[in-house]
Structures are given as structure tokens and as C-alpha cells.
Amino acid sequence: MVRSFTRIAVVGAAVATTLVGIASPALAADVNRTLSNSHGKMTYNDSVDVFEICDTNADGYGVTGNLNRVYKGGVTYSEEAFRINDGGDAGCDKIGYNVQGYPNNYQMNFWWDGGGATLSTVWFYE
């Protein structure tokens, strides 16, 4: 009798683990991304598909960012999805853009208009 209950418990645990393993890939978590330096920042809010850029240093230069998209379907092509900048006014600037799933891949870039390095995210998709 104890053996029967043990077998039922083991089989039940195996079934539950399998169901969780099958269901997990369908749960996609939002992933926000931020690029920043001493002059400002650019943030992507994945839950609402909004990009925000902020110039945080009153040095006479603004900050600029863009989103590049590469489509890797039957024909591969790349494009700049949008470009956004901030500087010289109060507050931050925002733009909405629907980031899509594979075969679309995206890379967010951010730079200070006074020169220096461009910061980039890894390639991502929704």
C-alpha cells in the first residue's frame, strides 16, 4: 500500500514538472533596457513599448539615440527604425515604437552630441 502511494506521488510530481516545463516558454517577461553616461540616458520600457531619452547635463550639447532593426526572414535587410534626441529644453523626449518578435532583431544606441563613444545594447527582440 505504501509503495502504491509512493509511485502515485512520483508519477504526479513528474507530470507536474512536465506541465510546468511546457507552459514556461509561453510566459514572456518584459525586459527594460537603459543606456546612460554622464550626459544623459536612454531607456526602453518594454511593457508599453516607449523609448525615452533625457539630457541630464547642461553643457550646451544634447544627447541622441536610435533604434536599429534587422529583419532576418526570407530576405535580410536592416534599417534605422527611428532617431530621437533631447537637449535645450525642459524634460525628456519620448517616442512609442512597437518592438516585434523574431525574425526582427533590434539594437538601441545612445550617444552624446559633443563626441565620444556610442553605447549600444545587445541585439534583442520581443
What grid cell was written down for 78?
Answer: 536592416
Three-state secondary-structure class, residue 22: helix
Q: Is the peptide bond before 103 cis (omega within 30 degrees of 0)?
A: yes
Supply the range of the domain harboring residue 36: 29-120
15 within a domain of the structure (yes/no): no
Number of domain units in the chain = 1
Q: How confident is the model at residue 4 (pLDDT cuts 50, 70, 90)?
A: low
61 within a domain of the structure (yes/no): yes
112 within a domain of the structure (yes/no): yes
46 within a domain of the structure (yes/no): yes
Q: What is the pLDDT of residue 60?
A: 93
pTM recorded for the entire structure: 0.74
CB of 85 closer than 8 Å to CB of 65: yes
What is the per-residue pLDDT across 23-66, written as a single tens digit (0 to 9) for each?
Answer: 334 445 778 999 999 999 999 999 999 999 999 998 999 999 99
The domain spanning residue 92 has which CATH number?
2.60.40
| Diameter of the chain measured on Cα atoms | 81
Number of H helices, E strands in the chain: 1, 8
Whether residue 122 has pLDDT greater than 70: yes
Whether residue 68 has pLDDT greater than 50: yes
What is the per-residue pLDDT across 96-121, written as a single tens digit (0 to 9) for each?
Answer: 999 999 999 999 999 999 999 999 99
Q: How confident is the model at residue 3 (pLDDT cuts 50, 70, 90)?
A: low
Q: What is the pLDDT of residue 80?
A: 97
